[in-house]
Amino acid sequence: MLNTLLPILLFAALGLAVLGAVKRFVMWRRGRPSKVDWIGGLLKMPRRYLVDLHHVVERDKYMSKTHVATAGGFVLAALLAIVVHGFGLHNRILGFALLAATVLMFVGALFVAKRRRNPPSRLSKGPWMRLPKSLLMFSVSFFIATLPVAGILPEGFGGWILAAILAVGVAWGVSELFFGMTWGGPMKHAFAGALHLAWHRRAERFGGGRSTGLKALDLDDPKAPLGVEKPTDFTWNQLLGFDACVQCGKCEAMCPAFAAGQPLNPKKLIQDMVIGLAGGNDAKFAGSPYPGIPLGEHGGGPHQPIVVQGGKGLVEADTLWSCTTCRACVEECPMMIEHVDAIVDMRRHLTLEKGSTPNKGAEVLDNLIATDNPGGFNPGGRLNWAADLNLPLMSEKGEAEVLFWVGDGAFDMRNQRTLRAFVKILKAAKVDFAVLGLEERDSGDVARRLGDEATFQTLAKRNIATLAKYRFQRIVTCDPHSFHVLKNEYGELGGRYEVLHHSTYIATLMSRNLLDLGQHKGGSVTYHDPCYLGRYNGEYEAPRAVLKAIGIEVKEMERSGFRSRCCGGGGGAPITDIPGKQRIPDMRMVDIKETGAELVAVGCPQCTAMLEGVVAPRPEIKDIAELVADVLIEAPAPVKKPVVAKAELEGVQ
Amino acid sequence: MTDLNIVTLVSVGAHPTSGRARRAEQDARAVELGLRLAGEHLRVVHAGDPREEALRAYLGMGLPELTVLEQPAGADALPALADFLAEAGAQLVLTGSQAETGEGSGLLPYLLAERLGWPLVVGLAAVEKVEQGHAQVLQALPRGQRRRLKVRLPFLASVDNAAPVARQSAFGPARRGELQVEAVPALTDELFADAQLQPARPRPKRLKVIKAKTAADRFKAATAKASGDGGQVLRDLTPEAGAEAIFKLLVEEGVVR
């Protein structure tokens, strides 16, 4: 009897799965077009899954092994079950192989069940609690049903009672694992995830690559939407990406805004986008809600606005403005979903169409338009910090080996100390450098992350035009935000440069023995990785190498390197200033204090400002450039009159 | 109040530190007030160069269009605006108090009101209601005080920093909005053409001596009505006697020597 029932069950489930897949695919395709490599992507998918994705999952050894056993066992078992039971190919060897696969899957499923016995808060409950049972049911049912095939039990063992029980078990198993996959069950992550990997919007991320720059809006076409108003304004492969979410909550666990009690939870945001994709409300969401926003009050659909001002849309605007764009969620996501892209896309609509950038946002954007700096300072004062430094100007020299990109920190008195320290280092190493001086403008980082793509592109294009006038080998900057934008985001607008963070450049100067350095005196030191240097650009080594060279042994924080916690200063978050229960820099300072360090080395003006904003008593905050400049042994120069000194400087130029 | 025919007059501003063209701060507040009263029916008018990109910043506040009475630089905006307002059947005209560029004398609302024969409310903070040809408005006075006025329509009102802050200007509507150009006869502003411009000097201010010892005292000092120390209210005087009294005060204060 089973021999007739099993093929019917299997093929019915497969048929429903195909139907669901087509339906889901049509749903994704409601998004805007995006060019993908259809066949090539599919061919590369297994490698992306087995290598790139596995690297991320491997950070959690328990889960990675569990997943290999469960998923591997399931795929093998499913394929063999179709051959053996679906097509009735009752071969003994195949039977044993199927038994082995189901055993493997069963063992994996036991570990899934164990994880689910007392799940951490980041995991979604609801239907996900049912999944280990379904996995066990699938593996056990097919195991028993295959025993006669392998010749271990006689054909027809157990009679119709066992057959009926097995039929129910198989039906349950294939419902969850075959058509549940395409009809929105927990197993959807496998189906959507595989295709998401194939047609990912940042295919460069695979194979060890890095792709972090935001993608430009087409502002020349007046009909192109300015950002994302409704779910269908996302590109279709973004929608597909949202659907791939496995609700593991790794993003939630790392999100600084969530930890601070601001109304953002990256996992919930992605699930809200899935709700938007399919239509409905968030009452059934089985994970942690946005802090302070109860479930069940928000909903939407594919053609409805995501944010409704003063009303209940899919998400509240504050949720989008809480993000610091620190990319911790993207870094953690085992499905390689691009949360930050989605958030900035929605911010773009709010800023460019609705004009509703919260708090100081509008003022900052107006300042950027009118004065090229976010503070609204007189652009003529951009070089005041270096009035006595006699800095070589590009407009006078025309070319230099290094173009020192000063950044808007030029207007901030705290950051001016860092800048002056770095100039001291450049001069000590006799580097051929020059600054743009008054020709420099804000890099556009804040404008872009506040969603004002128009102002970003205006600033970027003007900076690119200025840079095109001069010849230089590389740009060096003390600001990781400028660094990232110049390096990764100007390219799309026609500006391609070699850009280095000052820590990287100091490290090269050290390796070429151009700096005469003493040793750092004073207490213990920890190092805070800036998001835009670390996660965005993968530079974790150079700052540590520099610190090591001046005799500092970094006392690492628990969250350092790619897991570094944001200072709270990125993405315009200090400008939009969404209230939470605590402040992000305070939490970071707790991390710092846990190391017992008396000083924290930083490499970013934003981090400096945010961490120095934490009330004392707290460790001192110093930029890497300051620490190096402090131990710089300058050549004993005989006392000279200023005129002579100036002449000598010009000789150096 | 949406059936009210409201016109806001706008100029091209200049950023205080960079001097770059932008929407003028007070004019943008006048547009904000107009938008709150009339929504999309608000008419916004500028006399000057329609190619000025800074005007788009007003469109970015959500206006479908902006009328530009095309005039060469240095032309007198007054006659063109007066003719336009008379023809447009405006019932409430909103302006800023003082332009950020050009002459910036702050006289335009007064001269317009004089020419049209309409009342002028300076420092308009809010329009409370409009009924039966009269508007009940709040006028801003120093120290956060408000005076409730009843004004007959049509009238002019200038806004200053007591009016609600202008909403953010967004790129999308700014790009979509249309600048409707109307040709008007150009009249050279002779006074302005002959005059020489020089940077304004900050006005001397009386030093503020804080006598208050406690926070409560400071609060009281900040919020109390200006007490009349030495001032007097003169009523039913002849113009000569009034002028005499003013002159005497100016001599006393050392303004006229």
Concatenate the DSSP letters of all residues of B106-157 into one string.
S-HHHHHHHHHT--EESSEEEEEEEETTEEEEEEE-GGG-EEEEEEESSEEE
pLDDT of residue B227: 59
H/E element, B68:
strand B65-70
SS (H, E, C) A248-300: CCHHHHHCHHHHCCCCCCHHHHHHHHHHHHHCEEHHHCCCCCCCCCCCCCCEE
- Which of A590 and A91 is assigned the larger pLDDT? A590
- Least Cα distance to A374 among A463, A455, A485, A480 occurs for A455
- Chain mean pLDDT for chain A: 94
By CA distance, what is A382's nearest residue in B? B18
- Least Cα distance to A206 among A9, A417, A46 occurs for A46
Residues of chain A with Cβ-Cβ distance to B170 below 8 Å are: 351-355
DSSP conformational letter for A78 = H
Query: A452 pLDDT exceeds 60?
Result: yes
- Least Cα distance to A336 among A208, A199, A197, A532 occurs for A197
Query: A142 pLDDT exceeds 50?
Result: yes
Residues of chain B with Cβ-Cβ distance to A453 below 8 Å are: 171
Is B17 in the A-facing interface, judged by CB distances under 8 Å? Answer: yes
Nearest CA of chain B to the CA of A301: how many Å?
24
pLDDT of residue A200: 96
Are A378 and B17 inside 8 Å of each other by CB? yes
Are B18 and A379 inside 8 Å of each other by CB? yes
The torsion of the CA quartet A145, A151, A156, A157, rounded to 10 degrees, works out to -80
pLDDT of residue B256: 82
Are B173 and A366 inside 8 Å of each other by CB? no
In chain B, % of residues over pLDDT 70? 96
Query: B1 pLDDT exceeds 70?
Result: no
Query: A645 pLDDT exceeds 50?
Result: no
- Interface confidence (ipTM) of the complex: 0.89
Q: Band of the pLDDT at A636, cuts 50, 70, 90? A: low
For residue B168, give the nearest of A226, A357, A454 by CB distance: A357
pLDDT of residue A384: 95
Residues of chain A with Cβ-Cβ distance to B168 below 8 Å are: 351, 355-357, 361-362, 365
Contact A73, A108 (CB under 8 A): yes
Is B61 in the A-facing interface, judged by CB distances under 8 Å? Answer: yes
pLDDT tens digit sequence for B207-231: 777 777 888 888 887 777 665 566 6
Q: What is the mean pLDDT of residues A117-130?
A: 94
DSSP conformational letter for A379 = G
pLDDT tens digit sequence for B65-114: 999 999 998 889 999 999 999 999 999 999 999 999 888 889 999 999 99
Q: What is the mean pLDDT of residues A511-520?
A: 94
Nearest 5°: phi and psi at A195? -70, -35
Contact A442, A368 (CB under 8 A): yes
Are B18 and A351 inside 8 Å of each other by CB? no
The dihedral built from the CA positions of residue B52, B54, B57 and B58, taken in this order, carries a sign that is negative
- Which of A373 and B234 is assigned the larger pLDDT? A373
Are A355 and B60 inside 8 Å of each other by CB? yes
Is B167 in the A-facing interface, judged by CB distances under 8 Å? Answer: yes
Q: Residue holding tokens 């006869």?
A: B185
pLDDT of residue B228: 56
For residue B170, give the nearest of A352, A370, A372 by CB distance: A352
DSSP conformational letter for B214 = S
Are A366 and B171 inside 8 Å of each other by CB? no
Interface test with B, best of A309, A352, A357, A382 (most B CBs within 10 A): A352
Q: What CA–CA distance (Å, rounded) separates A349 from B112? A: 40
For residue A370, give the nearest of B18, B61, B171 by CB distance: B18
Q: What CA–CA distance (Å, rounded) separates A161 from A144? A: 13
Contact A257, A584 (CB under 8 A): yes
Is B53 in the A-facing interface, judged by CB distances under 8 Å? Answer: no
Name the token pair of A255. 């999100």
By CA distance, what is B25's nearest residue in A? A366
Name the token pair of A485. 């934008």
- Return the CATH class of domain A225-353: mainly alpha
Are A355 and B167 inside 8 Å of each other by CB? yes
Enter the pTM of the model: 0.92
We find that the CATH architecture of domain B6-193 is: 3-Layer(aba) Sandwich (3.40)
Nearest CA of chain A to the CA of B124: how many Å?
23
Interface of A with B (CB under 8 A): 222, 226, 351-357, 361-362, 365-366, 369-372, 376-379, 452-455
Is B60 in the A-facing interface, judged by CB distances under 8 Å? Answer: yes
Q: Band of the pLDDT at A647, cuts 50, 70, 90? A: very low
pLDDT of residue B4: 86
pLDDT tens digit sequence for A206-241: 998 999 999 999 999 999 999 999 999 999 999 999
- Taking the domains of chain A in order of start, what are their residue ranges? 2-198, 225-353, 375-511, 525-630
Q: Residue holding tokens 């195909």?
A: A18
Are B171 and A352 inside 8 Å of each other by CB? yes
Number of C-beta neighbours around residue A192 at 10 A: 27
Name the token pair of A212. 């972090």
- Taking the domains of chain B in order of start, what are their residue ranges? 6-193, 201-257
By CA distance, what is B168's nearest residue in A? A355
By CA distance, what is A379's nearest residue in B? B18
Name the token pair of B23. 């929407």
Is B218 in the A-facing interface, judged by CB distances under 8 Å? Answer: no
Query: B25 pLDDT exceeds 70?
Result: yes
Nearest CA of chain B to the CA of A367: how many Å?
9
pLDDT of residue A515: 93
**Residue A434 DSSP SS3:** strand
For residue A222, give the nearest of B60, B170, B175 by CB distance: B175
pLDDT tens digit sequence for A28-70: 999 999 999 999 999 999 999 999 999 999 999 999 999 999 9
Contacts of A222 (CB under 8 A, 6+ apart): B175, B176
We find that the CATH architecture of domain A375-511 is: 3-Layer(aba) Sandwich (3.40)
Say how many CB pairs under 8 Å bridge A and B: 54
Residues of chain A with Cβ-Cβ distance to B22 below 8 Å are: 366, 369-370
Nearest CA of chain A to the CA of B252: how many Å?
40
